[in-house]
Structures are given as structure tokens and as C-alpha cells.
Structure 1
Amino acid sequence: MSEDLPPLREPYSTRDQQREADMLGIYLFLASEIMLFGGLFAVAFVAHFLHPEGFVEASKKMHVFIGAANTMILLTSSYLVAIAVRAARAGHARLVSGCLALAAALGVAFLGLKAYEYRSEYRDGLLPLPGAHTDFASPGEHLFMNIYLIATSLHALHLTIGIVVLCLFAWLVRSRRLSLPAGATATETAATYWHLVDIIWIFLFPVLYLAR
């Protein structure tokens, strides 16, 4: 059997069928993630409807330039991951591992900026953490900040998982433990997860930072 092709497993009759089944698994998993964040977006929509003034005033206190910078960071990382997928299909292992490692590094940069933003918000009395001093002008602002903290921290957790996954695949490809292009589908599943995390942030950014 050619090393360029993934081994055919039972009960699949063709490699195309096997690949579709592999991708279906990751799509079902990501669908559950979409439902999770979809619930948060629904809560944000209702909160905005019920407390429009407080929601807008709290959004104005967000560090929009940090949010925009993080958006650009994640968009760039998604571009690198897309390059890695194309390179994996072509069997270019060094390019794949390099792009995945760089995308993971951008993810770390995102978390660094987010940690700096959290620190600034905590200092300004905006983060509703246990025992923290907070200063909210209205219940609407308080509700907004609760939604903001839950949504962004949950996104950061998913991003952290994505960074670990990208680093793992970069190492597997670099060390030849995952051969290419036979392992291109596995690389694509990791990339699909990363793209979803990026897309979630693309929606979080306007909902939280631009609601003004």
C-alpha cells in the first residue's frame, strides 16, 4: 500500500467514504460547541433587548483596540492553518509543522493580550469576580459584564485546547509520527476545530465590543 494514502479501515469500502466519516465526527462535536456558544449569544441578545442603555454603556468601556488586535491575530492564525491543510494534502511536512506552530504562537499572543485586558478591567472595577471591587452604574452593566466574562473566558478555554492540539500536530508531523499526505485528514480535523474557535470570536467581538 502506498504511504501516500491512509490505510483503509473496516467497515469502509473506499477512502473517500472513510474520510467523510472522519470529518462527520468532528462536525458533530463542533455542532455541540456551536449550541453552547449559541446559548450565550441568545442570552446576550435578550439582555441587550431588556437593558439597552446599560448594555451599550458597558460595551463602551471595552478595550476595542485590544479586541480588534486579537481579531486580526486569530484571522491570521486561521490563514496559516488553512495553508497547513493544503500543505498536508501535498505532503509538505515542514511547511505544515511550521504553519501550525506559528498559528499556535499567535494563539498564545491572543491569550496574552486577553490576560492584559482582564487585568485592566479588574483594576477598573469591571470584572464581576468573587471578592473583587466592582463599580457598575446599572444592573444592565453588571449583566453585560457577567456575560462578557463567561463568554470570553469560555472562549479562552477553547482556544487553549486548540493551541495544545496545534502544537501536538506540529510535533507529530515534524517528528514523522504522522506521515503526510496519509495523515492529511487528521490535520484537517484539528484545523476545523481551530477555525470554529476563530469564528466564535469573530461573532463575540461585535456583540461585546461594538454594541454601542
Structure 2
Amino acid sequence: MPIRPLPEYLVRRYHGWRATTYNENRAWYRHLADEGQHPRAMVISCCDSRVHVTSIFGADSGEFFIHRNIANLVPSFQPDAGHHGTSAAVEYAVRSLRVAHLIVLGHSQCGGVKGCYDMCEGHAPELDESTSFIGRWMDILRPGYETLPPGDDAERIEALEKAAVMVSLKNLMTFPFVRQAVEDGRLTLHGLWHHIREGTLEGWDPERGSFVTL
């Protein structure tokens, strides 16, 4: 099998982490190991390496249950025999961990959203191929593309990034156990959008019907 040892720079970083962060918080890590995880919130974010969820919120180990995928998308409830990684993560967070908050975090300059935009505009035929995993995943966002207002490409792509958050929140409510938890007051849903360059965070305000700067 073509498996190689970990690059040396990552090994050095690990030893640095264990000598500092771990040693300084050894009791907390042992508590997490002995008592299990009890996160208060689940965050569904993009795989983008520039979106550092724990840093944005100053979160400690054990505080967030984090699931990352292309463009922070949640598919609609589909009870079949397929492999549904995102759906499984949501089920575990809501039913087993009983998180109190479920946050969908989108961001600026999202490559997945840009790919969906190009595909829907007819500029990325490779994503329309049935063999494209990215294209078929981004089909989840097609309803968001249909709602885009007129404007230039940059404005529409940013609007689609925020639509990805809203599509995911809407799809979350198709899961019976999510809907029940929300209706029972055990779970709240939140939509956020992070501007990478500016470091700002916007949240969906249902009263205004728009994202507002936090």
C-alpha cells in the first residue's frame, strides 16, 4: 500500500503541542477521555482550510462537535441504504449527544459554491458529469441558485454562499428528529457567514430576513 510516514514537520508540531498545550491542560484532556464528550453545539462548516472554527469562537477541546464538508451543505432527509456522512453526523449530534445548538457556518470565497455557480451557469460541464462527486454533491445547492437576484458574478456568488447556509438550514428541518428537537425547545438552529479577508461574522436574523453583522 502506498502509505508513507508522516512528514517530519507535522511530527515536530505534534511534539510541540504535547509539550505545551497538552501538558498545560493534562487534567482537562483526561477528564474528556474519562467522562466522554458533551459538546453544547454542533457546527457544520466547509472543508476550506481557511475556516478555523475553533479559533473563530475561541473554543476548547470538547466544546464543539464539528462536521466539515464541501460548502457546508446538508442534504435533505433520505432514508435509504446509501452512505450519508453528513446525515449520520447530524443524527449522532442530535440524538446521542443532544446538542443544544446546531450551527451552519458558510464563508466567503467558497470554492464549492463557486463550482456550483459555474455549473449552473453552464461554465463547468465537468461538474455536470454523473461521475463527478463534487457536482452531484453541489446539486444540493441548485435550489439556492434559482433564487439568486440579478447582479454581477461576484455579488451573485456571495449571495449563493449565504444561500448555501439557508438551504442547509431548510434541509435540516426535513429530518424528523431535528424538527422534533426544535419543536420541543431542545435544539436551536443558527446560520452564519464568515468573511475570511475581513474576519467578520454575519448571522441570519429571521426578523429582518437577512444576514446581519454580529
- Relative to the length of structure 2, the TM-score reads 0.23
Q: Which has the higher contact order (CA 8 A, sep 6+)?
A: 1
- Relative to the length of structure 1, the TM-score reads 0.24
Whichever of the two has the greater Rg, that structure is 1
Say which structure is richer in strand.
Answer: 2
